[in-house]
Every structure is written in C-alpha cells, then in structure tokens.
Amino acid sequence: MAAVAIFYSIRSRPKSNSDKKQSKDFWPRIVQLINNTRMVATEDDAGRVARSRNGDHAAFESLIREHQRMIHSLCYRMTGSMADAEDLAQETFIQAYRSLSSFREESQFSSWLYRIAVNRCLNWRKSQARYARLEQEWSQQERPSNPKDETRGQAVQEALMKLGPKQRAAIILTVYDGMTHAQAAKVLGCSETTVSWRLFAARRKLKRLLILGKN
C-alpha cells in the first residue's frame, strides 16, 4: 500500500543507536495499528499529544488506537471504497503526526483529526486516479440477481455517494457521528447556518434517491 511507503519516508533522523532502533520499530507498528480494529481508551488526548511532540512513540500509538475506527468509518462513508478509506485513514494519521506542532491545546484532538480526515477526503474527489480505481471496484462487484435483495445499508451508502462531498460530510458528521451543528461547523470550517443548509439539501436529495431506488 502506498501509505506504507509514506510512513517510512517521514521518519525523523534518530540521534543515537537506541533511538534508531526505536524509530525503526515504530513505523511498522503504526501501520499495523491503523489496520487493527481494537479500540483502547487511555489517558486524555492533550497529554498524549504533548508526549508525542516530545518523541514518545507509544503515546502516538495510543492516539491511533483510540481514534482509528472513527477515522476509518468517516473515510469509508466519504469515499464508498474500503481500499481508499484505508489509504485516507493512514494519510490522515501521517499528516496528524507531522502537524502535531500546529495542534492547539485548547482544541479537541478528535475535532482537529476530523478536519484533517475530511480535507483528505475532499481532496480525494479531485484525484482522477482514485476516481478510476473506485469506478473499477464498483464495476467488478457482483450485482444481486434480484435488486430487491440489496440491503438498506447498501442503498443508503450508494445514495450518499451521489451527494456532493460537502453535503455528504455534513450528513456523516451529524447523523452518523452524532456531532452538533456547531461541532460539525468547526470541523468543516464553515458557519452553523451553512451546515444546516447543507443538511437540508442532503436530506431532501437522499429521500428522493431512496424513494426512486425502491421503484
């Protein structure tokens, strides 16, 4: 996976032999952790961020364990592709690690991480390579012999993919992840009114798409 190579490319240059061993072991573990479905809630995020800034790899691994499922779920619902969701989740944590110095302690780490993930997913829309891979992935999926056998979850996901990326993000953050309009607005970098309008338009379109899908 391309993201694995990126992890190795951003390793910091160690200062001692012990640091070299620690750094060498760190990045492979990070890749494994991101693909691991375990959720481990430990100490507060701010403390772990501070320790990660000081080179504590275990602290950053702990942050990944706690937030990986949330980020992966967001990326999947934004892309509709498991392969792209895995790549984007890894890229999110890579960017987060490299940007720890810009994290403000008074902010919520989860909201900051969400913003990185959403921006990654929005940029994904601009990549023709990812579009081509998604189209190929969908075209290779076996269609049920009877369209009525399709589960509601699949129908909703397909309808989500037909929304504009900003409307889809608003729906995912508020409906699937339970954020308030204020929290979603902070992640998306817009006003609460804008979030409300995007939700209104998204719900109206989803309703129409799901009704059409039943006919």
Whether this model's pTM surpasses 0.75 = no
Tens digit of pLDDT for each residue in 39-91?
Answer: 333 458 888 888 888 888 888 888 888 899 999 999 998 888 888 888 889 88
The per-residue pLDDT for range 92-146, each reduced to its tens digit, is 998 999 898 888 877 788 889 999 999 988 887 666 454 455 455 545 544 444 4
Based on the fold, state whether residues 121 and 149 are members of the same structural domain. Answer: no
183 and 101 housed in the same domain: no
The reported pLDDT for the residue numbered 207 is: 84
Expressed as residue numbers, the domain containing 133 is: 1-11+20-141
**Domain end position, chosen among 141, 161, 196:** 141
Q: What is the pLDDT of residue 16?
A: 47
Do residue 117 and residue 162 come from a single domain?
no
* CATH code assigned at 208: 1.10.10.10
Q: Residue written as tokens 């702990």?
A: 62
Domains of the chain: total: 2
Which long-range CB contacts under 8 A does 126-130 form with residues at least 24 apart? 130/79, 130/81, 130/84
pLDDT, tens digit, for every residue of 134-168?
Answer: 455 545 544 444 455 456 678 788 888 888 888 89
- Statement to judge: residues 136 and 96 lie in one domain: yes
| Residue 160 and residue 61 share a domain | no
